[in-house]
Structure 1
Amino acid sequence: MAAESFLAQSLSTLITDFNRRGIQYALAGGWAYSALVEPRATTDIDILLLMEQPSRDRLQSLLSSLFDATIVHPAAMVFRGISIWRCVGILKNQEVVIDVLLADSEYLRTALARRRQIFLGKVSVPIVTVEDLIVLKTLAGRLQDQADLQKIRLRQDDLDVDWVYVAEWKVKLGLAT
């Protein structure tokens, strides 16, 4: 069996630390897709996080004990109403990108409240629901997100998707087609 990748090790360390500290978060992005739909490659960690008074310093403090060095971009990127802080953790000359999505809107607080627990290996991790994964991927709209959404549609009978919830949030967020 191959050694666990640096990305997977970093995810495990992050989850274990957040769980120990009682931080309100949920795994999102490629890791959530892999857990909920089907395994696929990803190059970063996407975390939906509830944080009071978010700042570069608070994020730096949150992640600094996990890495030899942590670089947090100077300000959050705001994309379609979602605040995303790009963080880079460096450990033993290896880097991992952690995108922190702030639960700072009605929708994202709802998505965080709806999170479900799953196990990745022996570690329990809160993860966004498949419905919220669909909404988040629709918001992002990149080619990879579109491909992921197509696969979700192909597997929708197996995934037991609440399409009414998805449609309601798409309308509220101005994504309805």
Structure 2
Amino acid sequence: MSLRHALLGLLSERPASGYDLLKLFETSLATVWPATQSQIYTELTKLAGAGLITVAAEGPRGRKEYALADEGLAELRHWLTETKPQRNTRSDLLLRVFFLGVLEPEQARAYLTELTEMSERTYEDLNQLAQSIDWDDDNLSVYGRIALEYGLRFNAMRREWAQWAAGQIGQGAAREGSVRGGEA
């Protein structure tokens, strides 16, 4: 996914200013695809230059409201249907888990406990976000709730896994070849 497609997707629902889009990122896409104010404004300029969005209105102090152009909608649809999502195969978090054996068991458990706590905090943050949003029946609300549910379930799973993994340290489970749910 790219910032380009995230902005096109947000503009597919309704025209918005750069500030409006920044707020939408903060309340809906921050856990999926975070972006800074400067990144958003830079990309909006590129999208307008490429004819994928238009300036629908201009307000005081140079405020611009952007709307999705037909070419932008075509690009968004092409990206959704014709390109395959990139599979994220790199995980700094799991790479560290793979090498926890070089630490003392209490250090390894501390790392996993920290991961448990991080997952719990993220879960709670997402839960608060879900409660704070005035959900509607528009596409961004419907599909935003679906994406938010993924984040909630993922963090609940990661929390449970990290607790289980911390309990495995020092028990020799990995050396014996037993892994929960099957054999190694």
TM (norm. structure 2) is: 0.27
More strand by share: 1
TM (norm. structure 1) is: 0.27
Structure showing greater radius of gyration is 2
